[in-house]
């Protein structure tokens, strides 16, 4: 069993294709390819933490999407996720924020999961990592990275990583893959 992370799929959201410069012509084409990539990697027994904005207002129901996707999907609510029983019943778990521990490369790692970047997240000074999404490929994401770098330059620890789909080739990644994408290795000291 593996654990994966991703954010901002925005299934069914045609405008995301334009503003993220996603490599598809239509929302239907995007949805099919994202689900194909997801299932190529994720097995039925795996757990995927979806850090917000799973889908957008469209004709396809959330259940139609989740029934096609492998794994147990845990939703960390984002600004486009509905607060309704019908929406939330399609997921293994639905929360606004999660503080969890996983094993990565044989090391216990504390993870803080939120749709939104929190500069001084809980446990930052005590070896916790933050995974988030929300800002896509926008000026806000550039500013976010500057803030993280400024925190580090001041001598404070800030191991926060954007797991937006657009940064992960539109497929879930393990924590080890996320860290490697940053050019780092576990354990981080």
Supply φ then ψ for residue 130, to 5 degrees: -115, 135
Give the model confidence (pLDDT) of 61-79 as tens digits.
Answer: 899 999 999 999 999 999 9
H/E element holding 63? helix 62-66
Number of other CB atoms surrounding residue 4 within 10 Å: 23
Tell me what the mean pLDDT of segment 95-111 comes to: 94
d(CA 78, CA 182): 24
CB 5 within 8 A of CB 167: no
Number of other CB atoms surrounding residue 145 within 10 Å: 14
Residue 138 pLDDT level (bands cut at 50, 70, 90): confident
* pTM to 2 decimal places: 0.95
Per-residue pLDDT at 49 exceeds 90: yes
Return the pLDDT at 171. Answer: 97
Any idea which of 8-17, 79-88, 132-141, 179-188 has the lowest mean pLDDT?
179-188
Return the pLDDT at 187. Answer: 65
Query: Could you say which DSSP state residue 171 is in?
Result: S
Return the pLDDT at 24. Answer: 97
Query: Could you say which DSSP state residue 151 is in?
Result: H
Cα–Cα separations (whole angstroms), residue 49 to 14, 114, 157: 23, 10, 24
* Residue among 149, 113, 104, 109 nearest 131 (CA): 113
């Amino acid at each position: 069993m593996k654990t994966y992370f991703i954010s901002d799929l925005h299934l069914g959201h045609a405008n995301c294709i334009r503003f993220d410069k996603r490599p598809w012509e239509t929302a239907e084409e995007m949805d099919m390819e994202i689900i194909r990539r997801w299932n190529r990697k994720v097995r039925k027994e795996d757990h995927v933490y979806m850090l917000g904005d799973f889908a957008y207002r469209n004709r396809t129901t959330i259940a139609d999407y989740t029934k096609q996707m492998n794994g147990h999907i845990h939703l960390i609510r984002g600004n486009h996720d509905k607060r309704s029983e019908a929406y939330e019943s399609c997921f293994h778990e639905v929360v606004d924020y999660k503080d969890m521990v996983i094993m990565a490369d044989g090391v216990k790692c504390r993870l803080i999961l939120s749709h939104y970047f929190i500069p001084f997240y809980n446990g930052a000074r005590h070896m916790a990592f933050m995974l988030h999404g929300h800002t896509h490929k926008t000026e806000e994401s550039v500013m976010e990275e500057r803030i993280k770098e400024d925190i580090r330059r001041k001598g404070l620890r800030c191991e926060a990583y954007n797991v937006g789909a657009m940064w992960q080739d539109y497929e879930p990644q393990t924590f080890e893959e996320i860290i490697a994408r940053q050019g780092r290795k576990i354990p981080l000291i």
